[in-house]
Chains A and B, each alone.
Chain A
Amino acid sequence: MLGWKKWARTRSPWIFHAHCGGCNGCDIEIAAALTPRYDVERIGIVLTNNPRYADIMVVTGIVPKAMVPVIKRVYNQMTDPKGVVAVGACATTGGVFLKDDDNPTYTFGGPVDKAIPVDVYVPGCPPKPEAIIVGIAQCIQKALAKD
């Protein structure tokens, strides 16, 4: 198709922000990426509240046991091609909530990659808004740039 699909898909990715039991630190950094200082909307990255319209899901927080079925359902509602970005130490590995590998916190449902496939990890506690932008840009290259 002469790369038309690829062009259209990478042009303006819509983001669905799934907050899964975080401390709000990463969520505030995502909000900071939308402020005039970083302004991701100028490069076409738009937040949406409906997973059916979203191309990329940004997950923050430790994903408690109660959120595991919800996040799986939300992931299945997204249309192909889709990507997932795990933001923050909790979402990537568990961070302080997984101090002991065999004995995590009792609400801990495993990091995000146990529930759904993750494309890009953004470590940091919380990561800088620039790092989140880099993560989303990598996710576009990895998951969405298909013809």
Chain B
Amino acid sequence: MKERRVGALRKLLKVSLTGLKKCVTVDFPFGPPAFVAPIFRGQPEYDEEKCMGCVACSMQCSASAIKYVDEDGKRVLTVYLSRCIYCGRCQLICPQDEAIKLSQNWNLVTDKVDSVVSTITIDLRKCENCGTYFMPDKQVGAIIDRIKEKLEDSALKEQILHDVELASHYCPDCRKKLAIKLNLHTRKYV
């Protein structure tokens, strides 16, 4: 007990004496800002290469700061930073290994509320039958990759991959309509 008290006292003395060595005040508005901790959560930013546009971040967002619009074959994901509470749930839930990541940028001061945003634009895939846009291109690729991983050395591997590749060109409605024509029904596996 006594040792701990002496240790605490020594620590206190050490901390109080550091103030004598140098000026602790940060000369901020005229000089560089203070040290930013590595765990600091700042502006969320999208990774152009990794992000596939699955909008998992938008669904998970606790302040509904992440919104998306599907228009003219593009999906635009926008993080409204004035609404964001920097909880990091988007980064945690992202299936693509941190395609959205909270950076160290803290300087987001503005005079227009909706002007501070992080955005990303992703191409959507067009249905070859009816011409509607139904899913991001990269997400289709990611799903096929995941199916490949799961299949490993299945006997039906080639057949399944062929069917998946064929079905990936059509929207869900057309897939149902063309199931017999393209022979996509899973009954043949049995």
Contact assessment for A125 and B86 in the assembled complex, using a CB-CB cutoff below 8 Å:
yes
11 more contacts with CB within 8 A, not counting A96-B85, A121-B109, A123-B110, are A38-B25, A42-B25, A98-B83, A113-B113, A121-B110, A123-B108, A124-B86, A130-B107, A131-B108, A134-B107, A134-B109
Q: Give min CB distance, A128 to chain B, whole Å.
A: 5
Check: B96 CB closer than 8 A to any chain A CB. no
Residues of chain B within 8 A (CB-CB) of A124 are 86, 106, 108
Residues of chain B within 8 A (CB-CB) of A121 are 82, 109-113
Do A119 and B111 contact each other (CB < 8 Å), given the known contacts A37-B25, A130-B28, A131-B106? yes
Contact assessment for B63 and A96 in the assembled complex, using a CB-CB cutoff below 8 Å:
yes
The residue in chain A whose Cβ has the minimal distance to the Cβ of B106 is A128
Chain B at the A interface: SS class: loop
Q: How far is the CA of A36 from the CA of B22 in the complex (A)?
A: 12
Residues of chain A within 8 A (CB-CB) of B80 are 93
Select which of A38, A99, A122 is within 8 A of B109 by beta carbon. A122
Residues A81-131 near B (CB distance < 8 A)? 89, 92-96, 98-101, 113, 119-125, 127-128, 130-131
Check: B51 CB closer than 8 A to any chain A CB. no
Check: B29 CB closer than 8 A to any chain A CB. yes
Contact assessment for A99 and B63 in the assembled complex, using a CB-CB cutoff below 8 Å:
yes
> Which B residues form the contact surface with A (CB < 8 A)?
24-26, 28-29, 33-34, 36, 62-64, 80-87, 106-113, 116
Chain A CB within 10 A, most for which of B80, B83, B109:
B109
Q: How far is the CA of A1 from the CA of B36 in the complex (A)?
A: 43
Q: Give min CB distance, B89 to chain A, whole Å.
A: 11
Check: A2 CB closer than 8 A to any chain B CB. no
Q: How far is the CA of A119 from the CA of B107 in the complex (A)?
A: 17
Q: How far is the CA of A138 from the CA of B110 in the complex (A)?
A: 9
Select which of A36, A96, A113 is within 8 A of B24 by beta carbon. A36
Q: How far is the CA of A96 from the CA of B66 in the complex (A)?
A: 12
The residue in chain A whose Cβ has the minimal distance to the Cβ of B61 is A99
Contact assessment for B83 and A93 in the assembled complex, using a CB-CB cutoff below 8 Å:
yes
The residue in chain B whose Cβ has the minimal distance to the Cβ of A122 is B109
